[in-house]
């Protein structure tokens, strides 16, 4: 059991990283990786929401969708669960932890349309994970996302001082850097077997 969980963890963080192998969460990955500080904020917010939504989506899927045989409503229900969860989390931390809200506040609304969260919920179903496995999967996927985001932010902060050819500036060089990062992460493959 513990071995399975460790496997899920390593696989979601390193070998099957959501950003670099499944291309999930690319928009925030390109959007907020310009600065270290915002990368930390976004990473924390995503990990937090992902862990919570893995638990809640699992419960909804198994106790409502499967039970009443309405699996065809899967996508609609998942996106509603994620959107409402983001809203609730936002209201909650605004009230109870203003410093945390200051740190994560502006990233939370962006999370609803982060495909990594919905992707995680869909994978959790196709991989037939149990409750604990799903939560571990959600947490590790969020962690993997944050890891790559932070590495990318570090590189891009250095890149500001590099002499990049004019046409490559902006999106071009960011994508190419991501490609090289993906190549590096391929080095982890095989770790899980």
Partner 1 sequence: MSKTKLLPIFKKGLWENHPTFRQLLGMCPTLAVTTSALNGLSMGLAVMFVLVFSTFIVSLIRRLVPAQVRIAVYTIIIATFVTIADIFLKANFPQVSKDLGPYVPLIVVNCIILGRCEAFASKNTPLKSVIDALGISSGFLWGLMLLGSIREFFGSGSIFGITLLAKGFKPLIVMILPAGAFLVLGFLVSLINFIEKRMKKC
Partner 2 sequence: MRTLKIILTLALTCIFSAGVLSLSDKLAEHKIKENQKKAINQAIFKMIKQAAKIQALAGKKIQIYKAFDKNGHTAGFAFIAEGSGYQGKISILCATDVSFRKLLGIEIIESMETPGLGARISEDWFKQQFRGLSVLKPITYGKKADLNNNQIQAITGATISSRSVVRIINNAMKKAEKTAKNEQN
x-or-dash pattern for partner 2, window 113-142, by CB under 8 A?
Answer: -------------xx---------------
Q: Whole-angstrom Cα distance, residue 11 to residue 187?
A: 13
Give the residue, chosen from 22, 40, 101, 188, that forms a contact with partner 1 under the rule CB under 8 A.
22
**Is 88 among the residues that bind partner 1 (CB under 8 A)?**
no
Q: Which does 68 bind (CB under 5 to 8 A by kind): partner 1, partner 2, none?
A: none
Nearer to partner 2, 167 or 193 (CB): 193
Burial class (CB in 10 A: 0-12, 13-18, 19+), 36: middle
Shortest spacing between CB 25 and partner 1, in angstroms: 8
The tokens for 186 are 């391929």
Burial class (CB in 10 A: 0-12, 13-18, 19+), 67: exposed
Q: Find out whether 141 and 50 touch, Cβ atoms under 8 Å.
A: yes
**What is the Cα Rg of the chain in Å?**
17
Interface residue list for partner 1 (CB under 8 A)? 20-27, 30, 72-76, 79-80, 83, 112-115, 117-119, 122-123, 126, 165, 167-168, 170-180, 182-183, 186
Interface residue list for partner 2 (CB under 8 A)? 16, 70, 72-73, 76, 126-127, 189-190, 193
């Amino acid at each position: 059991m513990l071995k399975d969980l460790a496997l899920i963890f390593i696989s979601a963080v390193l070998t099957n990283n959501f950003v670099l192998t499944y291309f999930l969460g690319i928009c925030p990955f390109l959007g907020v990786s310009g600065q270290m500080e915002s990368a930390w904020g976004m990473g924390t917010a995503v990990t937090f929401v992902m862990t919570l939504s893995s638990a809640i989506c699992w419960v909804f899927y198994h106790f409502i969708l499967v039970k009443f045989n309405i699996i065809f409503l899967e996508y609609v229900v998942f996106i509603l669960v994620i959107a409402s969860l983001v809203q609730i989390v936002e209201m909650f931390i605004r009230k109870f932890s203003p410093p945390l809200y200051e740190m994560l506040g502006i990233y939370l609304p962006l999370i609803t349309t982060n495909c990594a969260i919905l992707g995680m919920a869909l994978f959790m179903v196709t991989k037939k994970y149990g409750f604990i496995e799903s939560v571990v999967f959600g947490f590790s996927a969020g962690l993997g996302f944050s890891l790559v985001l932070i590495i990318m932010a570090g590189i891009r902060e250095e890149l500001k001082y590099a002499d990049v050819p004019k046409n490559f500036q902006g999106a071009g060089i960011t994508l190419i850097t991501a490609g090289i990062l993906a190549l590096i992460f391929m080095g982890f493959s095989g770790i899980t077997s």
